[in-house]
């Protein structure tokens, strides 16, 4: 029984680690490449989609700071960020209609469509894994939640070295928590403002075609 539990724990840790690695590729690496590609191809619809995506994805980076700072609700915020990122790439009617006009031979839009489905499945998988440790949504500092803190350690080391290089000071977990919570407040205010002003005005129209089209 003990061996079986150990094996399950190892598999769970590996699964969480892989989820974070896939997140880096599909939530950061590929969107950067698509954004540069859309600029080169002068595809306004994809460019607008990626611009919106990067604004929304700031919450994901904020959640990483909160995970470093071991903020109790960090995992909950991570899942909310993934949900918002997924919604942001499917929400816009005008962009969806534009993408439908391209056939499979146009590689930029085809790759964008595949990427949208990929982050949808990654977000769903992340949520399912999180529900296996439901208590971690409100108390990340328990021993059972350590597997969710380990993947952010590399990001912590990177930020710590960067912080020390630019400011000559030590970047600590309390600082990460403070920066995360402060950024979360600013992000929330921005989201509320958009929900109250821009959403009622524009609805599901991203307005990508307001200016002259490429």
- Walk along the chain (214 residues) and give the pLDDT tens digit of each residue: 544 444 445 556 666 767 777 788 899 999 999 999 999 999 999 999 999 999 999 999 999 999 999 999 999 999 999 999 999 999 999 999 999 999 888 999 999 999 999 999 999 988 888 888 888 898 888 887 888 887 777 777 777 777 777 776 688 888 889 999 999 999 999 999 999 999 999 999 998 876 544 3
Q: What per-residue confidence (pLDDT) applies to 10?
A: 57
The pLDDT, as a whole number, for residue 14 is 65
Beta-carbon count within 10 A of 65 CB: 26
DSSP state letters, 178-206 = HHHHHHHHHHHHHHHHIIIIIHHHHTT--
Q: Is 67 within the bounds of a domain?
A: yes
Structure tokens at 143: 């021993």
Residue 183 CB contacts under 8 Å (≥ 6 apart), including other chains: 58, 62, 65
Residue 66, in any domain of the structure = yes
Establish if 214 belongs to a structural domain: no
List the domain range (segments joined by +) for residue 194.
Answer: 2-202
Total tally of structural domains belonging to the chain: 1
Between the alpha carbon of residue 123 and those of residues 66, 107, 173, 200, the distances in Å are: 19, 24, 26, 27
pLDDT, position 76: 94
Which tokens belong to 15? 């699964």
The C-alpha atoms of residue 82 and residue 129 are separated, in whole angstroms, by 13
Q: Is residue 141 part of a domain?
A: yes
Residue 145 resides in a domain: yes
Least Cα distance to 85 among 69, 61, 111 occurs for 61
- Asked if residue 73 belongs to a domain, the reply is yes
Does residue 140 fall inside a structural domain? yes
pLDDT at 156: 76
Q: Is the dihedral of CA 33, 89, 178, 147 positive or negative?
A: negative
Predicted pLDDT at 20: 76
Asked if the structure places residue 208 within a domain, the reply is: no
């Amino acid at each position: 029984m003990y061996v079986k539990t150990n094996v399950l724990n190892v598999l769970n840790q590996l699964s969480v680690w892989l989820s974070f690695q896939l997140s880096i590729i599909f939530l950061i690496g590929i969107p950067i490449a698509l954004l540069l590609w859309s600029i080169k191809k002068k595809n306004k619809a994809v460019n607008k989609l990626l611009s919106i995506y990067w604004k929304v994805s700031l919450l994901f980076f904020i959640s990483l700071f909160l995970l470093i700072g071991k903020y109790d609700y960090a995992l909950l915020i991570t899942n909310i960020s993934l949900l918002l990122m997924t919604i942001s790439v499917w929400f816009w009617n005008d962009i969806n209609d534009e993408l439908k006009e391209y056939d499979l031979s146009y590689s930029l839009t085809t790759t964008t469509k595949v990427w949208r489905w990929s982050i949808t499945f990654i977000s769903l998988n992340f949520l399912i894994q999180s529900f296996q440790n439901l208590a971690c949504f409100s108390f990340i500092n328990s021993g059972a939640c350590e597997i969710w803190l380990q993947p952010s350690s590399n990001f912590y080391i990177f930020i710590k070295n960067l912080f020390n290089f630019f400011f000559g000071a030590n970047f600590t977990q309390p600082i990460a928590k403070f920066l995360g919570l402060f950024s979360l407040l600013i992000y929330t205010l921005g989201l509320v403002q958009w929900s109250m002003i821009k959403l009622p005005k524009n609805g599901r129209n991203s307005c990508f075609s307001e200016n002259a089209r490429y």
